Amino acid sequence: MPIYSKEEAQALLKKVLSYSKADECEVSLRGNDGGNIRTALNAVSTAGDISTVSLAVSSVYGKKTGTATINEFDDASLEKVVRRAEELAQLAPENPETMPMLGPQTFKDSIAYNPATAAMTPESRAEMVGQSLDVTKAANLQAAGFLENTTRFSAVMNSKGLFAYDKSTDVIYSVTTRNAAGTISGYAARGFTDVKKMDTASATKIATQKALSSASPKAIEPGKYTVILEPVAAVYMLENMFRFDARSAEEGRSFLSKKGGGTRLGEKLMDDKVNIYSDPFNTELPGPTWNGDGMPLERTDWIKEGVVKNLSYSRYWAQKKGVTPVPGPSNIIMDGGTTSLEEMIKSTERGILVSRLWYIRMVDPQSLLLTGLTRDGTFYIENGQIKFPVKNFRFNESPVIMLNNVEALGKPERTISVESYRSYLIPPMKIRDFTFTSLSDAV
Amino acid sequence: MGLGAAMFPNIPVIGSPIHPEAALQAADVAAKKRMADVALNAAKSKGATYADVRIGRYLNQSIVTRETRVQNIANTESYGMGVRVLADGCWGFAATDKMDNDGIARAADLAVRIAKDNAKLLSEPVQLAPQKGYGEVSWKTPIEKNAFEIPIKEKVDLLLAANNAALSAGASFVNNSLFMINEQKYFASTDGSYIDQDIHRIWPNFTITKTDSKSGKFETRNSLGAPMGMGYEYLIPDKSTVLNGIFPIYRTRFDMIEDAKTATAQLEEKLKAKPIEPGKYDLILDPTNLFLTIHESVGHPTELDRVLGYEANFAGTSFLTLDKWKSGKFNFGSNIVNFVGDKLQPGGLATVGYDDEGVKCGKWDLIKDGVLVNYQTIRDQAHILGLNASQGCCYAQSWDDVQFQRMPNVSLQPGKAKLSPAELIKNTEKGLYMFGRNSYSIDQQRYNFQFSSQLCYEIKDGKIAGMVSGAAYQANTQEFWNSCSAICDASDYRLGGSFFDGKGQPQQVSAVSHGCSTAKFDKVNVINTSRKI
């Protein structure tokens, strides 16, 4: 029973809590159920079906906390994990940051669960992957891809009367298409709550088209270029910025710290066109309805018209600073504009179209400078037209600088990060003065 | 809904039900063997031509502190079984934490069903290298002190003492954590192996921060201790293992308190460091920095699954294509560059007796005298290289993940002639001396990389001339290793490593170490990464 219903989760957590002898106790239950198929060289390479449930117990004595987890649910194991958490709490020194647990809260029902996605089977996965392979075989290319569906639930209960439950589904597909010689490569990635929106064949057609149009790339000089970032490229860059944490900013160790002390809350940090927010009830990108502390999640603006609108405050830090706690982002949505990708290309005198970015890592947390590379479809634009494919670049750029240099935004699309596989709603974007620092021979 | 019992009403039940608690007794190998046989027999009865089973109990303990406080102490435990089968020439995998006979047999049946469903998408059947069964054998990380048996208080006291040392020396913040891992793994296969292993790893990890509110600047310095395949003995200082270069560096024992003091003093200098002038420099890379460059530019491109295209959709492919290996003369690096794959290296994070498909582990050359001579393989790849056995590089991060090719410890062999870092400095006119891992990035075929460091000292005319800021080296892998002009001798050799090497879809992490001595690289391009926002 990897996916517990609300009632089943409630009954189990109640039983676990009944074993508690601590001052306060929080018990949480999480489960995943799903499967995957991985392909390479136009054939399946690995596939699996995995179901797990895990229980975590946090026990508190005064200001002392201990946590233990287990994945066995017979009565003896349940009692054992509670005792283990209590032993750890007794051994722990006092932590002045320990906050009293929250009492009962009111939560709106999550909209993140889709029964069709939850009902996927090994057979339906194989069929969806087969449709993708048909496209690459017809184009005489080789596909390496990954399809995964996951149903998740999480529930939390504490000795103060809090109970929260969420259930969600997710299906992702990504595919890289290359020729046998390894001289061309294309990519596409899709992620949805509802499997009915997933069309593996059309995604593969886009990857195929990217690959076929990237033959014989020319080397052009690195430097500052106007770039058009497709959503899957843009989001990987921006993902590194989506932690709008007040505490590290106030401690003077964040890109949101202010010179002389304090934070940049209320400051205009980006272009007017930039609006970034969280909303667990967005129908295109539904998210969890409560956070790890059991606080209800609602729509929260982070950047509004380029201004830092909110920073997240943990319950402890909010109390210390005398402000209301603000839970961190549950999901991320960036508003877009009306410019189509074609119009962005048409209005570009000299620039680079970037299909995908790769291996992004933080270089300098002070400026949020990131490095990484382009991959799977990088094209030179001149006088409003794509002229030719170019060799891949390494870049060194900050998403904050990037969002100051916004020329145009397109319609937001649900897209996934190629590293974390989290889903986001992000528009394609045209950015001026993006810094490429060297060339790569990689295809 | 999940794939429940109702779908598999006719599973044969073999053996007796086992209470999960019984299986958790580390010594109860007999119970694990019984459970493994249930899975193997169920898989065979459903049509598997090969099957293997991994019963895993994974214990983790973490202690997380900041400044004078313990933020959390957590014990996690995960227990279950993964069943992998070959049926109709195709792999199938299923995992379960329901460890009674029905649960185990259902997982085996599901794995066979997945294999058969996917066989129609296969172009060639899987070809497994032969592997003899070892019967009932065992292996254990050679630890001196089991970190899980050390009292929590002793571990907390050590972390807080290091934090206090940093705070007393003027640090603004200290985040300091200790992670301990114990993998109790039982492997069985239809080849006739029943392998019981007890694997231990430990990772002390601090970040000390100093802020300057006037300028709005902040700098950090991370611990120069390494994650190790060792017990708690790694954290018991031993002066005889300290290398006294321009500051103390630790070999096989780590002095957390001393390194915290050193780090805090270095932060003063880091905040005042002058910006690097971009250009070409001779780099002297300490093993605390070089290990990660080895990992990315040597470890990953010699993974055969990447070379063949199996990682094309995520981790990428490799520039070390088979034609380069077949030529027998691909010049990967200068002739002093020798790399080995070594699954038995003492203290290594990837060190085990047997891999996750029951292959006894060993050591082999990857780069010999600068030439590419071999790759990292598992059983279904060995035939591609004309090998009649796997090199034992198969690993899964947990019982509920399928095993696949993962990196062994890949290490640069020390120089044969006597040579110290001090001598390297003395012989360098315009150079940089780098310590510690920091930012790292490399392209999907492992040509172009960029790395930075925790500490970067300028060398002018054979002498250290203070710290510089914002330096990152960018190079092409083959050019970089061909620019390697000197490698210090074995007395300077150390291991670095990572607990979290990510690869595969769904992504799995593995822990791996890389050994090397300090090495010199001539005229490498260095950029200045400082920007203002």
Q: pLDDT category, B26, cuts 50, 70, 90?
A: low
Q: Cβ of B19 and A74 within 8 Å?
A: yes
**Which residues of chain B from 162 to 181 reach within 8 Å of chain A, CB to CB?**
172-173
What are the CA-CA distances from residue A174 to residues A144, A211, A361 (Å)? 8, 14, 21
CA B343/CA B21 separation, integer angstroms: 32
pLDDT at B7 > cutoff 80: no
User: Rounded to the nearest 10 degrees, what angle do helices A122-138 and A200-212 cross at?
Assistant: 30
Distance separating alpha carbons of residues A376 and A185, to the nearest angstrom: 5
Instruction: Please tell me the distance from the alpha carbon of residue A148 to that of residue A152, in angstroms, as a whole number.
Output: 13
Q: Per residue in B81-118, pLDDT tens?
A: 999 999 999 999 999 988 999 999 999 999 999 999 88
Per DSSP, A99 falls in state: P
Query: A369: which chain B residues are within 8 Å (Cβ-Cβ)?
Result: 529, 531
Residue to test with chain B: of A36, A42, A44, most B Cβ within 10 A: A44
User: Which of the residues B58, B403, B531 would you substitute to probe the A interface, choosing the one with the greatest number of A C-beta atoms within 10 Å?
Assistant: B531
At residue B13, the pLDDT reads 29
Given a contact cutoff of 8 angstroms between Cβ atoms, the answer to whether B249 and B286 are in contact is: yes
Q: Given a cut of 60, is residue B57 above it in pLDDT?
A: yes
Residues A121, B313: C-beta atoms closer than 8 Å: no
The token pair that represents B182 in the structure block: 């114990």
Across the interface, of A45, A118, A392, the residue whose CB is closest to B443 is A392
List the one residue out of A37, A34, A26, A27 whose CA is nearest residue A2: A34
pLDDT score of A1 = 62
Neighbours of B429 (CB within 10 A): 10
Q: What is the DSSP letter of B146?
A: -
All residues of chain B having their beta carbon less than 8 Å from the beta carbon of residue A76 are 21
Q: CB of A402 within 8 Å of any CB in chain B? A: no
CB contact under 8 A, B75 and A119: no
d(CA B429, CA B255): 33
Least Cα separation, residue B122 to chain A (angstroms): 5
Beta bridge partners of A38: A46, A146
From the candidates B121, B384, B446, B503, which should be mutated to test the interface with A, based on the most A CB atoms within 10 A? B121
Query: A266: phi > 0 → left, psi -120 to 50 → alpha, else beta; which?
Result: left
Strands (E), A179-320: 185-192, 224-229, 276-278, 300-304, 307-308
Chain A CB within 8 Å of residue B447 CB: yes
Q: How confident is the model at residue B532 (pLDDT cuts 50, 70, 90)?
A: confident
B418 to chain A nearest CA, in Å? 36
Contact B113 A369 (CB under 8 A): no
- Taking an 8 Å cut-off on Cβ atoms, the answer to whether B319 and A441 are in contact is yes
Tell me the CB-side half-sphere exposure of residue A412, using CA atoms within 13 A.
Answer: 19
Note which residues in 246-305 of chain B have CB less than 8 A from chain A. none
Which residues from B are below 8 Å from A68, CB to CB? 74-77
What is the Cα Rg of chain B in Å? 25
Cα–Cα dist B324/B312, whole Å: 19
Nearest chain B Cα to A60, which residue? B72
Q: Where are the domains of chain A?
A: 6-211, 216-238+336-439
Is the bond leading into B506 cis (omega within 30 degrees of zero)?
Answer: yes
Mutate to test the interface with B, among A30, A69, A71, A367 (most CBs of B within 10 A): A71
| B280 φ/ψ angles, rounded to the nearest 5 degrees | -95, 130
- Which pLDDT tens digit goes with each residue over B280-311? 999 999 999 999 999 999 999 999 999 999 99
Strand partners, B194: B136, B188
Two structure tokens written together for B458: 């300028």
User: Does B14 score more than 90 pLDDT?
Assistant: no
Residue-level pLDDT at B447:
97
- Contact in structure between B39 and B107 (CB atoms under 8 Å): yes
- Strand partners for A296: A290
CB contact under 8 A, B211 and A253: yes
Among residues B133, B84, B129, B143, which one has the least CA distance to residue B110? B84
Neighbour count for residue A295 (Cβ, 10 Å)? 19
Tell me if chain A has a CB within 8 Å of the CB of B123.
Answer: yes
CB contact under 8 A, B447 and A440: yes
Residue A353: which H helix or E strand, with range? strand A350-364
Give the whole-angstrom CA distance, residue A143 versus residue A437: 30
Q: Do B2 and A375 touch (CB under 8 A)?
A: no
Among all residues of chain B, which has the CA nearest to that of A57? Answer: B74
Supply A319's token pair.
Answer: 């109390």
Which among A253, A303, A355, A418 is the top mutation candidate for probing chain B, defined by the most B β-carbons within 10 Å of its own β-carbon?
A253
To the nearest whole percent, how much of chain B has pLDDT over 90? 90
Q: How confident is the model at residue B343 (pLDDT cuts 50, 70, 90)?
A: very high
pLDDT tens by residue, B414-460: 999 999 999 999 999 999 999 999 999 999 999 999 999 999 999 99
Q: What is the pLDDT of residue B23?
A: 38
- Find chain A residues with C-beta within 8 A of B74's C-beta: 66-69, 88
Q: Do the chains contact at A44 and B121, CB–CB below 8 Å?
A: yes
Least Cα separation, residue A188 to chain B (angstroms): 10
State the count of interchain CB pairs (< 8 A) between A and B.
Answer: 294
Q: What CATH homologous superfamily does A6-211 map to?
A: PmbA/TldD superfamily (3.30.2290.10)
Of A43, A174, A260, the CB nearest to B214: A260
On whether ipTM exceeds 0.90, the answer is: yes
What number of other Cβ atoms are within 10 A of residue B502's Cβ? 13
Instruction: Give the whole-number percent of chain B exceeding pLDDT 70.
Output: 95
pLDDT attached to residue B225? 96
**Does position B12 have pLDDT exceeding 70, yes or no?**
no
Domains of chain B, by residue range, sit at 5-57+79-137, 152-268, 279-528
Q: What is the mean pLDDT of chain B?
A: 93
Band of the pLDDT at B215, cuts 50, 70, 90? Answer: confident
- pLDDT, residue B446, reads 97
For tokens 């260095």, the residue is B526
Contacts of A416 in chain B (CB under 8 A): none
Q: How far apart are CA A226 and CA A308, in angstroms?
A: 25
Chain A contacts in chain B segment 80-99 (CB below 8 A): 80, 90-97
Model confidence at B217, in pLDDT bands (50, 70, 90)?
A: very high
Let me know if B139 is exposed, middle or buried by CB neighbors in 10 A (0-12, 13-18, 19+).
middle
Cα distance from A313 to chain B (closest Cα, Å)?
Answer: 17
Task: Tell me whether residue B348 is exposed, middle or buried, using C-beta atoms within 10 angstroms of its C-beta: 0 to 12, 13 to 18, 19 or more.
Answer: buried
Residue segments in chain A with a per-residue pLDDT below the cut of 50? none
pLDDT band at B232 (very low <50, low <70, confident <90, very high): very high
Distance CA B420, CA B352 (A): 31
Which range has the worst mean pLDDT, A96-100, A208-212, B15-19, B464-468? B15-19
Question: Could you please report the per-residue DSSP string of B114-131?
Answer: HHHHHHTT-SS---PPP-
Confidence of residue B9 (pLDDT cuts 50, 70, 90): very low
Residues from chain A contacting residue B59 (CB–CB below 8 Å): none
Q: Which chain B residues touch A439 with a CB distance below 8 Å?
A: 448
